[in-house]
Amino acid sequence: MNASVNIPVISIDGPTASGKGTVAHRVAKQLGFHYLDSGALYRLTALSAIRQGIDLWEEQQIADLARVLPCRFEKGHVYLAGDDVTDAVREEAIGVAASKIAVLPLVRKALVELQVSFRQTPGLVADGRDMGTVIFPDAIQKVFLTASVEARANRRYKQLIEKGFPANMEDLVKDLTERDARDMARTEAPLKPAPDAFILDTSHITANEAVHQILSLYAIALRNQKTI
């Protein structure tokens, strides 16, 4: 039996700009758990493919690239082959490219093992789109964050402006709507809540309020687990 299955996992899934990254990172910090930003792995793969001139529909080539992805996460920074690409992977163009390669079954399969390897003691908070449905179906607590397209576009707009990137609200709404449709329609691990996930709408609550709710849910899950 794989001992890692006894390591607790909190999965936080949801669409782009639902706040899952910020919330998951804070939950992990509060608990002293490891943190997995699965979306960053797809963004890193997309960025690497673009840098190497690989077409985004070249499934096998991108899968081979993903399998040996030279990346690391360190003190809030993201590195690709030694280069700090923290800002680069957050650019809208890279986000769109990541969404496109995420529909490719061979690419998803190549990244599964890498994602599972993040499950280490004392625990893991994993955010993405299929953490609770595919990667960690045995997570002790599953959360699906959601928010209106308008609320998510507004958040993304503020993030981009603060970082000095150009942004247009109409374009962001259109992009998020298209990405939602693509993520939900894909045949491989479509974006959807796990049957036992707690649905948390963040349209009108702060990130700290969401963190508080998730920590409370986790505490209840721990108590229930001990009584079984």
Query: 16 labelled as ligand-binding?
Result: yes
Query: 17 labelled as ligand-binding?
Result: yes
The residues, any chain, with a CB within 8 Å of residue 163's CB and separated by 6 or more, are 87, 90
Cα separation, 156 vs 169, in Å, equals 9
Residue 11 burial (CB < 10 Å; 0-12/13-18/19+)?
Answer: buried
- Unique residue bearing structure tokens 């939900």: 184
Query: 123 labelled as ligand-binding?
Result: no
Query: 15 labelled as ligand-binding?
Result: yes
Q: Which two tokens stand for residue 130?
A: 């299929």
Query: 177 labelled as ligand-binding?
Result: no
Query: 187 labelled as ligand-binding?
Result: no
Query: 20 labelled as ligand-binding?
Result: yes
Annotated binding site: 14-22
List binding-site positions for ATP: 14-22
